[in-house]
Amino acid sequence: MNLLWDLYWPVLTLAVVAGVNVGAIAFRKRAPNQFRTINWRRRRVLVLAGGAALVLAFGAIWHAPVGKGERFASQTERFTRKVLVDWEMAPVTAVVPRNPIRRALVLSGPADDFQRSELVRILNDVPGVANVWWADRPPNFTLPLLLEVELAALVSFGVGLVLAYLLELRRRSNAQWRW
């Protein structure tokens, strides 16, 4: 399971599409005879900020009210449970921290030092997991999943803006050809 693609592809796709559409509006060159009272820089900034706010709102709605964050946590715990049973470590439990949801696992249960280090190494390979630690040790820093999704959405929005800018440059360079 690739986290960003399996669960959050609609957010990333919407961010690219929104970036292209918002960029097409924001990067359009002002015609010389248009109204002089409109501040075009302010309009451009408002359009870009509105598009970014739309993308961030959609990412937050997709994460929490739609429930993709909780779906990620339950799928990761289910898969990890299967891995622990396969490695005959059934008494050990792995939980995804849920306040806020993070791409991490917290292990607890009976295990000796060798098993502890190997379980951390093995469970680090679980798809979508960034960090693994034991409950009696200090936690490692992991970004909340919502923040990761919002950052990925902003990067996708930026990709859409770059595409819109390139399309606008192409349109401007071809404007001389009137057949």
Q: 68-134 domain in CATH 3.30.70.2860?
A: no
Domain boundaries, the chain: 3-66+145-176, 68-134
State residue 90's pLDDT score: 84
State residue 41's pLDDT score: 79
Cβ atoms < 10 Å from Cβ of 128: 18
Give the rounded percent of residues in the chain with a pLDDT score beyond 90: 35
Mean pLDDT for the stretch of residues 85-111: 90
* pLDDT single digits (tens) 12-44: 999 999 999 999 988 887 666 655 556 777 888
Q: Is the pLDDT of residue 131 over 70?
A: yes
